[in-house]
Amino acid sequence: MNIVIVDSSSVGLKILSSMLEYQGHKTHVFTDGQEAFDFIRSNLDVNLLLTGLELKSMSGFELCWDVQLLCQRGRQIYIIAMSSNHDERKLIETLDSGAEDFITKPPKEQELLARLRVAQRMQSMQKEVIKLASLDSLTGILNRRAFFDHCELHCQNAKNGEALTAIMFDIDHFKRVNDVYGHDIGDKALTCVVNTVQSEFGLFARMGGEEFALLLPRIAKDKALDIAEQLRIGVEKLRIDAPKKSLKITCSYGVSEWQKGDTIESLLKRADLALYMAKESGRNQACFGEHNIQMAVPERSKKRVEICYLS
């Protein structure tokens, strides 16, 4: 585990750090509570906090509380508090401040290691719960809710001047696929389309039915259109095994670029309008959505367009 240890005793920190590193854990030690919190906030791989209650800058109670707030934003950090004071009220206050566990200071080695094993089991279960809540059960990519949760940081970066684009796309004539070939083949078509999207592109989610969203951090309009075309060609080449024949499918794409004053909703709205235009213009192509979603007619991509119907 990647552990931050905080205590007022430098000697105690050295002993704990040596004990845990000998067991294969990575440790970072602090006597100052604020410095420890700043480190935890900026290092996303920290997954356990072991802290005393009498610290510099802030109390252990405050540190537990602030780290617990980070956990409410999607972090997984197990908190164990340490104290030589056996006052029941202090124990209650510590747990109410966000600590998951409490151990007497100085902790006995075997007891501490056992509590760390509990922490590992708890985090493993939490990861599985988060996975089940965040991923689409059919395709394994983000679901709609998780997609919007993950967009926050990228939108903030876009407000600070970083490029951000979005692609909305769906499968052309998907209802016909289900009606003619059955939902099993429709599900296969969905997973095949998902497999054409490279993970390094950005945040990828199934928004519902046959519709997908792709958020592209640090990518501007022209590159986003290139990616949409790359995806279009990849899907066009797919051949899906179906009873008696091979099924050929295509997708249509709408692309939008972050503009001043945007929100994730307005960015996706323009992409969705551009997707609608791509379908109205013949499908199997990409269109770019202009800034004014009330007045603009999406710009048709200059990429090659070829309409492909079901075989």
Whether 63 and 117 share a structural domain: yes
Specify the CATH number for the domain of residue 52: 3.40.50.2300
Whether 169 and 77 share a structural domain: no
pLDDT digits (tens, 9 = 90+) for 165-223: 999 999 999 999 999 999 999 999 999 999 999 877 899 999 999 999 999 999 999 99
Decide if 307 is inside a domain. Answer: no
Query: What is the rounded distance in angstroms from the CA atom of residue 272 to the CA atom of residue 115?
Result: 50
Q: Which among 79, 109, 134 is the end of a domain? A: 134
Decide if 60 is inside a domain. Answer: yes
Whether 167 and 227 share a structural domain: yes
Specify the CATH number for the domain of residue 193: 3.30.70.270
Q: Residue 73 has what pLDDT?
A: 67
> Which class for 211: exposed (0-12), middle (13-18), buried (19 or more C-beta within 10 A)?
middle
Catalytic residue among 210, 236, 257, 290: 210
Is 109 a residue of the active site? no
193-206: buried (b, 16+ CB within 10 Å) or exposed (e) per residue? bbebbeeebbbbbb
pLDDT digits (tens, 9 = 90+) for 17-32: 999 999 999 999 999 9
Whether 169 and 37 share a structural domain: no
Decide if 250 is inside a domain. Answer: yes
Q: Residue 50 has what pLDDT?
A: 95
The boundaries of the domain holding residue 21 are 2-134
Whether 82 and 15 share a structural domain: yes
pLDDT at residue 91 greater than cutoff 50: yes
Q: What is the mean pLDDT of residues 139-156?
A: 92
What phi and psi values does residue 20 have, to the nearest 5 degrees? -75, -35
Mean residue pLDDT of the chain comes to 88
Report strand pairing: 48-52 vs 78-83.
Answer: parallel
Decide if 310 is inside a domain. Answer: no
Starting at the earlier edge strand, list the strands of the sheet with 26-30.
Answer: 26-30, 2-6, 48-52, 78-83, 101-104
* Number of neighbouring beta carbons within 10 Å of residue 161: 8
Q: Residue 308 has what pLDDT?
A: 32
Whether 88 and 201 share a structural domain: no
pLDDT at residue 301 greater than cutoff 70: no
CB proximity list for 9: less than 8 A, separation 6 or greater:
31, 52
Decide if 261 is inside a domain. Answer: yes
Whether 10 and 114 share a structural domain: yes
Give 266's strand partners: none
Judged by phi (left if over 0) then psi (alpha if -120 to 50, else beta), residue 284 lies in left
Whether 104 and 174 share a structural domain: no
Decide if 98 is inside a domain. Answer: yes
Whether 182 and 280 share a structural domain: yes
Domain count, the chain: 2
76-115: buried (b, 16+ CB within 10 Å) or exposed (e) per residue? bbbbbbbbeeeeeebeebbeebbbbbbbebebeeeebeeb
pLDDT tier for residue 157 given thresholds of 50, 70 and 90: very high
Decide if 306 is inside a domain. Answer: no
pLDDT at residue 297 greater than cutoff 70: no
Q: Which among 95, 116, 134 is the end of a domain? A: 134
Give 212's strand partners: 169, 206
Q: Residue 310 has what pLDDT?
A: 34
pLDDT digits (tens, 9 = 90+) for 49-71: 999 988 888 888 999 999 998 88
- Closest residue by Cα to residue 253 from 237, 277, 269, 234: 277
Whether 109 and 195 share a structural domain: no
User: How far apart, in Å, do the first and last CA atoms of the chain sit?
Assistant: 54
Whether 48 and 175 share a structural domain: no
Decide if 305 is inside a domain. Answer: no
- Closest residue by Cα to residue 233 from 302, 303, 309: 303
Whether 179 and 239 share a structural domain: yes
pLDDT at residue 37 greater than cutoff 70: yes
Q: Which among 83, 102, 134 is the end of a domain? A: 134
Query: What is the rounded distance in angstroms from the CA atom of residue 112 to the CA atom of residue 54?
Result: 19
